[in-house]
Amino acid sequence: MSSALDRLKNITNKISSYERARKDNLTLLKELYNELGINEKVEEFSDLFHFKAINLSGASLLSESLGEIKKGKYLQILAIGYDKEAVVKSKNISLGYYGKAENVDAGLKNKIVEFIIRFRFEKSFMTLEHYYTMLETFKADE
């Protein structure tokens, strides 16, 4: 019996930890949204999540080389918009242009990379919730 209770406590702690991390992430993401001037391109913070994805040119987002500058490239935050009614379905939208990657202050570059990782972290939760809700449809059939 104790083993089942321990497993339940462990699962509860993990869920609680994820929810705290998500809440803290959203707070920091919103700060970066304002600090990086993205609020000038996307007026409402919640509208950020209408984009399919947000990418970065000019620096790496791979875990093994996170933030590493790509020489000769320009540092730019690019959002991927999607319009299923349009002839060309997806569209890149610049959310922030910062100049030649090698000339950008390291602190600013790190905040840009952090913004994108924090966006993706929240977007992954939203995706998880979306599919969880979709799966609820099948439970009605059981």
SS (H, E, C) the chain: CHHHHHHHHHHHHHHHHHHHHHHHHHHHHHHHHHHCCHHHCCCCHHHHHHCCEEEEECECCCHHHCCCECCCCEEEEEEEEECCCCCCCEEEEEEEEEEEHHHCCHHHHHHHHHHHHHHHHHHHHHHHHHHHHHHHHHHCCC
How many separate domains does the chain show?
1
Q: Each residue of 34-48: b (16+ CB within 10 Å) or e? A: eebebeeebeeeeeb
Average pLDDT, the chain: 90
Residue 109 lies in a domain: yes
> How far is Cα 118 from Cα 140, in angstroms, rounded to an integer?
35
In tens, the pLDDT along 89-131 reads 788 999 999 999 999 999 999 999 999 999 999 999 998 888 8
Per-residue pLDDT band for 1 (boundaries 50, 70, 90) equals: low
> Positive or negative CA dihedral for 40, 43, 47, 50?
negative
Higher pLDDT, 8 or 125: 125
Residue 142 lies in a domain: no
Q: What is the pLDDT of residue 141?
A: 61
Domain hosting residue 66, numbered range: 3-137
Residue 7 lies in a domain: yes
In tens, the pLDDT along 35-84 reads 999 999 999 999 999 999 999 999 999 999 999 999 999 999 999 988 77
Res 13 pLDDT > 70:
yes
Residue 84 lies in a domain: yes
Residue 23 lies in a domain: yes
Residue 21 lies in a domain: yes
Residue 132 lies in a domain: yes
